[in-house]
Amino acid sequence: MSAVSPRTRLTVVPSHRIAVGRGLSILAALGIVAITLAAMGRSPIELAGLVVRSTVGSRFGIEDLALFMTPLMLTGAAVWVGIRVNLWNIGAEGQLYAGATAATAVGLFTHWPAIVALPAMVVAGALAGAAWIFIPAAARAWLGVSEIVTSLLLNFVASLLVYYLATGPWADRVTGALASTERLHVALPELWGAVHLGFLLALGIVVGLGVGLAKSRFGYETAVCGSNPQAAHYAGIKVAPRILAVLLLSGALAGLAGVFEVAGTVHRLQGGLANNYGYLGIVVALLARGSCFALIPAALLMALILDTGIVLQTTQISSSAVLAITGLLVLAIAAGDEMAAYVRVNRN
């Protein structure tokens, strides 16, 4: 009997191995889904055709993908920029709410022309997102308090604050919509159907972030702080201010996602606005691994999964089943990444 070749884990996994691993794992997950649907008396082929036609096969579906991608790219970037230096911003959901709230305040209570109001909303949203993570960031930088717990807990505070405003002092008195403010006086320009300028801005921000961190002194110093804080200290780099700056940047990116949602997609502040984009941004960031530019295809993949879930629900498949399918696909991708990291070792 021949011995089984041992395997070792690669420190750096080539991108082609990751692509192959993810592709095979997704196919395996889809096979499981197809078998399960067939056991439920549903035709996997018919459902697959419906999903393709309703997502990438129609203008409406493509517009939906772009609208999903816009916040996912930014919340993914918010989480990714922290992971890059071994920091975990789990509060992108709350920072998105904070940015949306600040942008709504400008859009509702000022009557400036769009050329003034829209940049003001962007600035206010970014500052609000950064402000929402300031306390967790400062506590992490100077006191060593885990940013994971503190940023996560603030998500619930932000969500409840939005519900309070949308049902109380800022509630829509015109149409009486539940848990919603009035429609904003200004909106981001539409580019193609429902796709608004925020989509291009999000793309530009992700690309600019990738280039800026790769080429700038700030990007280099923060990378050193993340990989080896002691070496950074001996090199004369002040670690605490860099940690604060990275987390503030992370919060600002998530805040911008909130701005684009209220100013481009929803046009009003309402309960549930975040739609779990902050938490899904964690998945997007992990899928992107070490590449900022990979956030774009990762956000597209997650948008496809979300859009597929909506299509399946229209065919009377329960939301619980759709959630299980979504979880299976994400788990399969994670498993594919892990398997791609192992290679056989030739003993000869």
User: What confidence tier does 21 reach under pLDDT thresholds 50, 70, 90?
Assistant: confident
Tell me, yes or no, whether 54 lies in a domain. Answer: yes
* pLDDT mean over 95-123: 95
| Mean of all residue pLDDT scores within the chain | 90
* pLDDT mean over 148-172: 94
Tell me, yes or no, whether 339 lies in a domain. Answer: no
Would you state the pLDDT for residue 348? 55
* Percent of the chain's residues with pLDDT above 90: 56
63, 56, 25, 77: which is closest to 299 by C-alpha? 77
Assigned token pair, 192: 């193609």
Residue 113 has pLDDT above 90, yes or no: yes
Torsion of CA 144, 226, 86, 258, to 10 degrees: 90
Give every CB contact of residue 318 below 8 A, 6+ residues apart in sequence: none
Strand partners, 163: none
Residue 3 has pLDDT above 60, yes or no: no
Would you state the pLDDT for residue 1? 44
What residue has token string 């149409």? 175
User: What confidence tier does 135 reach under pLDDT thresholds 50, 70, 90?
Assistant: very high
Tell me, yes or no, whether 23 lies in a domain. Answer: no
User: What confidence tier does 179 reach under pLDDT thresholds 50, 70, 90?
Assistant: confident
Radius of gyration for the chain, computed over Cα atoms and rounded to the nearest angstrom? 22
Range of the domain at 293: 43-181+188-316
Give every CB contact of residue 227 below 8 A, 6+ residues apart in sequence: 85, 86
User: What confidence tier does 310 reach under pLDDT thresholds 50, 70, 90?
Assistant: confident
Assigned token pair, 48: 């697959």
User: Which of 30-44, 174-188, 243-257 has the highest mean predicted lDDT (pLDDT)?
Assistant: 243-257
Residue 140 has pLDDT above 90, yes or no: yes
CA–CA gap between residue 250 and residue 242 (Å, rounded): 12
184, 332, 191, 320: which is closest to 258 by C-alpha? 184
* pLDDT mean over 60-70: 94
Would you state the pLDDT for residue 130? 97
- In the chain, how many domains are there? 1
Tell me, yes or no, whether 272 lies in a domain. Answer: yes
Tell me, yes or no, whether 69 lies in a domain. Answer: yes
CA atoms within 13 A on the CB side of 151: 33
**Which long-range contacts (C-beta less than 8 Å, at least 24 apart) are formed by 133-139?**
133/89, 133/91, 133/95, 133/247, 133/248, 133/250, 133/251, 134/248, 134/251, 136/91, 136/247, 137/243, 137/244, 137/247, 137/248, 137/251, 138/244
CA atoms within 13 A on the CB side of 345: 8
User: What confidence tier does 4 reach under pLDDT thresholds 50, 70, 90?
Assistant: low
User: What confidence tier does 300 reach under pLDDT thresholds 50, 70, 90?
Assistant: very high
Question: Where residue 107 sits, what CATH number does that domain have?
Answer: 1.10.3470
Would you state the pLDDT for residue 5? 56
* pLDDT mean over 304-314: 87
Residue 205 has pLDDT above 90, yes or no: yes
Residue 62 has pLDDT above 50, yes or no: yes
* Percent of the chain's residues with pLDDT above 70: 97
Name residue 251's amino acid. G
Contact status, residue 76 vs residue 66, Cβ threshold 8 Å? no
Tell me, yes or no, whether 337 lies in a domain. Answer: no
CA–CA gap between residue 141 and residue 193 (Å, rounded): 44
Residue 117 has pLDDT above 90, yes or no: yes
What φ, ψ does residue 84 adopt, rounded to 5°? -55, -30
Tell me, yes or no, whether 1 lies in a domain. Answer: no
Tell me, yes or no, whether 327 lies in a domain. Answer: no
Residue 320 has pLDDT above 90, yes or no: no
- DSSP alpha helices (H): ranges in the chain? 15-39, 44-54, 59-83, 92-109, 114-132, 134-138, 147-167, 197-215, 217-227, 229-234, 239-260, 277-288, 295-313, 319-340
* pLDDT mean over 29-33: 88
